[in-house]
Each structure stands twice: as structure tokens, then as C-alpha cells.
Amino acid sequence: MPRREYTLSGYRGMWLFAMFDLPVGTKAERKRYAKFRKMLVEDGFSMLQFSVYARYCVDEESALAHRRQVRSAIPPEGYVRLLSITDRQFGKMENFVGKKPVPAQKAPQQLSLF
């Protein structure tokens, strides 16, 4: 089987965003919220801000696999949005804390294990 080579490209790498607004009024709803959030973190998502998580994927195929993972864990109530953008687009994001600009998050380094 031929070895798949990855070259880091701003157009190949993808960022998958999971944005959600889930009910937390009852104990059962809070439990479903916590389970969904825990799944995101275990799947490699990082919190960008409240209820907005992002994960770097090496390509669109990987992003689709993680989309399926998130879809399978969506609770029965609330809103969940999934969005994929290229690494190049992600790099153009402007980030501020108050009025002070802060640098954008960088894509993780690719490791080659063999």
C-alpha cells in the first residue's frame, strides 16, 4: 500500500468548528451538555470561547471523520453548528482581548512517525 504523504498547505489543512447552544435547565440537560463537551475535548477540540470549539484536521477527509463523530454525539435538544474552513482562512482571523489584538492560534506541527 503506498504511503500517503502530507505536505503542509494552507489550503489542505482544515479547522473544524463546533458551535453550540444547549439547554442546561435540568439535571439531565446539564449531564447531556457535559457529555457533549467532554466528547469534543476527547476528540481533540480546543475551546476558543464559550460554546465555540475548534479542531485542526490535516485534510478534508479527516474533517469529515470528525464531523461524523460530533454528529453522532449531538444531544436531542439545542443548537449545534459545524463549520470547516481552511488553515489559510483561519490564519486571517482577527483576535482581540478588549481592544488589544492577540496572535491567532497556529496549526499544530505535523509529526512523522515511522
Q: Which three cell numbers, joined as nine digits, stand for 26? A: 435540568
pLDDT tens digit sequence for 83-107: 999 999 998 999 999 999 998 777 6
pLDDT tens digit sequence for 21-40: 999 999 999 999 999 999 99
* DSSP bridge pairs for 14: 57, 86
**Given this model, what pLDDT does residue 3 score?**
56
Domains of the chain by start residue, with CATH: 14-90 (3.30.70.240)
Mean pLDDT of the chain: 89
In 1-114, which ranges are continuous DSSP H helix?
27-42, 60-73, 87-91
